[in-house]
Structure formats: structure tokens, C-alpha cells
């Protein structure tokens, strides 16, 4: 295809694995990364980098239902950290001046009794965690720029694990599956309530893009059978909801989720992202098997980018783009987000490689 497409057309055709002009693009950056790059010649901010990349995606809203909106009680603090009881009722130690995973100290919703007696009612009565009018404005802005607009947010398993913690939810999946089903259904109901309210207010979107990690670097958190029984029905419900409204469905999960790919396909997912390379996800191996029924978004290994070795970086991008482009179902993204160990010069070289190897002739 020789004609230049809009971002919306390009992403749509990629997700349908039809002819398009070039690989669609998007990426994520740590705040510290942008600050480093400003000291290395970047004249701008996060959005400036996305424009230089030629980013094709715009967010319309972000849905994350929480039981106690606005709660932010500081319980203790020192020079570097503070201990906070937040909107989910859990207590965490967080960094004051840098990004990083918080230390989980206490989960308020630590039992089925607490869920049923306090947290579920609070969630159901919490309302939207974003302003609908802001979503409508974001939708209009994405339409004006012909961007591919996405209704974004968490999915049910991420909601559960952030509310009660892995050490509680994973045993509960075996010992009290009805509780896990109830939590998954409740979160999914609330997420779909948010998305429907956005559409009812007049916003338009091209996809639902949900975020939730069901794997780590050595495999899924639970078996495919347990996934199918407890979480998969709600993932399929999100996907069906999007498809019935003419939208695509993109699923973000970290970790090695190769054992779940057949179930993702069965549920109707259009695309998976970000395909974490250090967790053994590799589009070069997966595209030949799944590339006719699933699109791939990401997988460019940031541990390779950190080396600054241009020969290795070029090989990483060239071979992975070629694998995904063979079925016309690939979009560029780092394999998670770009960390501050990647220099501005290295990232500009990455942009150059994507430009050189990401075009359909």
C-alpha cells in the first residue's frame, strides 16, 4: 500500500491484519527517562517524544474502580519514602521522588468477609474514578488528530490483586473460587459501567485496551484451566462488549503467558501487548504460529537497548519487525516501557530503525 493512512486507519488495518503503509507506533517512558533525555538534548516532554516517534494511539479514559476514591492518608514518612493508606484501603510504602514498585504493608481487604461486608459495597457505590467530560474532550481531540482512540484501564484480575494482594488471591483461586469469581465479575461490571457511560456521553473510541498482569518471568501466575474457570469469562466479556460496539480489543499483560495464547485467541482478543522479552515472549517464535489470528504489539527488548550496542539494537528491531509484519499484524512498542538507562542517542537510533525497517513496500 503506497497511500499514507491516518493513525486510526493504520491501527485498525494492523489489528485486522490487512495491508497498511507502515508499522503503527506507541511507547511508554519512565519520568526519569524523560528527565535524562532533557539533559541529553531533548527539547520537550513525554508527548514530544511520542510525536517524534509518530505515535498512533490516544487514550480516551482510564478506568480503575476503587472503593475509597480520594483517600490518601499519610501514616509515616522520612526523607525518601512515605507510608500511605490509599484509595484501595491498603497500606503501602512509596517513594517520594522517584518511580518504583511500592512496598505492600497491609491489605485492608484480607478476607471474603471484609470483601462482602465493606469493600464490595464501597466499590459498587464509588462512582466513576475519572471525569466523564474529560473523556469526551479526549475523544474529540483524538478524533480531530485522526488518532486511534482507546478506552483504557485495568481488567478484573489486576483489580483483585491490587486490592487484596497476590498472597491472598492466588490461594483463594484454589480454596475459595466463588469469592474470586465474584470479585472478577464485580470489577468487570464496574469497568464496563465506566466505558458505557463514556459512550453514552457522546465519546467515540476505536478500541478497548485493558491492563492486567497474569504472568511473571517464568510463566503464568496460575494454570490455563484455572484461568479459563475464574478469570477468562470476564476477559471474554470485555472483548465481546468491545466487538459488539465496533471496537477492537487489546490486552496488556507482563510475563510469560505463552500457555494462555490459545485461550486469548478463543476469547477473541485482537492483540496482545507488550510481550515482555525478558519473560521469553518473542514475536519471532509466536508470529508463525499465531500471526493469522492475533496481532502483536511491542517485544522490543529494552535490556538490549540499555547496552547501547547499535548492531544488537538494529538486529533486535529488524528481525522482530520482520516477523510481525509477515502477517501484517504488528505495532512497535518497547517490551514494557523505556527505562532511564536508555540514552537519548540510543532512543533516536531506535526511532531511525523503526523508520527504516517498519515500512511496507
Spell out the domain ranges in the chain.
7-66+109-357, 68-108
Written as nine digits, the cell of 270 is 485482537
Q: Is the Cα torsion angle 41, 43, 44, 48 positive or negative in sign? A: negative
Contact 154, 210 (CB under 8 A): yes
Mean pLDDT by 10 residues, the chain (361 residues): 86 98 97 98 97 97 97 95 96 93 95 98 95 98 97 98 97 98 98 98 98 96 98 98 98 98 98 97 98 98 98 98 98 97 98 98 81
pTM metric for this prediction: 0.97
Q: What pLDDT sits at residue 200?
A: 98
Q: Which of 202, 200, 157, 203 is nearest to 61 (CA)?
A: 203
Q: What pLDDT sits at residue 113?
A: 98
Q: What pLDDT sits at residue 274?
A: 98
Print burial letters for 115-150: b (CB count within 10 Å at least 16), e (below 16).
beeebbebbeebebbbebeebbebbeebbeeebbbb
Say which CATH topology domain 7-66+109-357 has.
TIM Barrel (3.20.20)
- Report the distance separating Cα 197 and Cα 318, nearest Å: 42
The string of DSSP codes covering 115-133 is: IIIIIHHHHHTS--SS-HH
Q: What pLDDT sits at residue 326?
A: 98
Give the single-character DSSP code of 61.
E
Written as nine digits, the cell of 101 is 514498585
Alpha-helical runs (H) found in the chain: 7-15, 31-38, 46-53, 112-114, 120-124, 132-144, 156-164, 166-175, 177-200, 224-230, 232-244, 261-267, 283-290, 302-307, 310-325, 344-357
Q: Is the Cα torsion angle 177, 178, 181, 187 positive or negative in sign? A: negative
Q: What pLDDT sits at residue 218?
A: 95
Give pLDDT tens digits for 96-147. Answer: 988 988 999 999 999 999 999 999 999 999 999 999 999 999 999 999 999 9
- Report the distance separating Cα 332 and Cα 54, nearest Å: 11
Contact 125, 142 (CB under 8 A): no
- Report the distance separating Cα 260 and Cα 219, nearest Å: 10
Q: What pLDDT sits at residue 4?
A: 86
- Report the distance separating Cα 37 and Cα 348, nearest Å: 10
74: exposed, middle or buried (Cβ count in 10 Å: 0-12, 13-18, 19+): exposed
Give pLDDT tens digits for 218-234. Answer: 999 999 999 999 999 99
Backbone angles phi, psi at 295, to 5 degrees: -95, 155
- Report the distance separating Cα 82 and Cα 62, nearest Å: 25
Residue corresponding to grid cell 518471568: 217
Task: Give, to the nearest 10 degrees, the angle between helix 31-38 and helix 46-53.
Answer: 80
Amino acid at each position: 500500500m503506497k497511500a499514507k493512512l491516518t493513525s486510526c486507519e493504520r491501527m485498525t488495518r494492523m489489528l485486522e491484519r490487512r495491508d497498511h503503509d507502515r508499522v503503527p507506533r506507541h511507547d511508554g517512558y519512565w519520568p526519569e527517562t524523560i528527565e535524562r533525555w532533557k539533559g541529553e538534548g531533548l527539547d520537550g516532554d513525554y508527548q514530544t517524544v511520542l510525536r517524534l516517534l509518530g505515535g498512533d494511539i490516544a487514550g480516551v479514559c482510564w478506568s480503575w474502580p476503587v472503593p475509597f476514591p480520594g483517600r490518601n492518608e499519610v501514616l509515616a514518612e522520612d526523607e525518601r519514602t512515605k507510608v500511605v493508606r490509599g484509595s484501595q484501603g491498603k497500606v503501602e510504602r512509596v517513594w517520594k521522588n522517584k518511580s518504583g514498585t511500592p512496598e505492600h504493608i497491609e491489605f485492608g481487604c484480607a478476607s471474603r468477609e471484609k470483601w462482602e461486608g465493606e469493600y464490595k459495597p464501597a466499590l459498587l457505590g464509588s462512582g466513576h474514578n475519572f471525569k466523564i467530560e474529560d473523556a469526551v474532550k479526549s475523544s474529540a481531540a483524538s478524533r480531530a488528530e485522526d488518532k486511534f482512540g482507546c478506552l483504557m484501564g485495568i481488567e478484573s484480575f489486576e483489580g483483585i490483586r491490587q486490592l487484596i494482594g497476590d498472597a491472598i488471591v492466588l490461594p483463594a483461586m484454589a480454596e475459595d473460587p466463588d469469592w474470586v469469581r465474584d470479585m472478577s465479575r464485580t470489577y468487570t461490571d464496574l469497568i464496563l459501567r465506566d466505558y458505557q457511560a463514556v459512550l453514552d456521553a457522546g465519546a467515540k473510541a476505536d478500541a478497548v485496551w485493558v491492563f492486567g498482569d497474569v504472568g511473571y518471568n517464568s510463566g503464568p501466575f496460575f494454570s490455563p484451566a484455572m484461568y479459563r474457570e475464574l478469570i477468562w469469562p470476564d476477559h471474554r466479556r470485555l472483548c465481546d462488549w468491545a466487538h459488539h460496539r465496533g471496537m477492537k480489543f487489546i490486552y496488556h499483560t507482563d510475563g510469560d503467558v505463552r500457555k494462555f495464547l490459545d485461550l486469548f485467541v478463543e476469547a477473541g482478543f485482537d492483540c496482545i501487548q507488550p510481550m515482555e522479552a525478558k519473560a521469553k515472549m518473542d514475536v519471532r517464535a509466536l508470529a508463525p504460529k499465531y500471526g493469522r489470528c492475533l496481532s502483536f504489539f511491542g517485544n522490543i527488548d529494552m535490556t538490549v537497548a540499555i547496552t547501547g550496542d547499535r548492531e544488537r539494537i538494529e538486529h533486535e528491531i529488524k528481525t522482530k519487525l520482520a516477523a510481525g509484519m509477515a502477517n501484517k499484524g504488528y505495532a512497535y512498542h518497547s517490551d514494557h516501557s523505556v527505562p532511564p538507562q536508555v540514552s537519548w542517542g540510543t532512543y533516536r537510533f531506535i526511532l531511525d530503525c523503526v523508520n527504516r525497517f517498519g515500512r511496507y513496500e
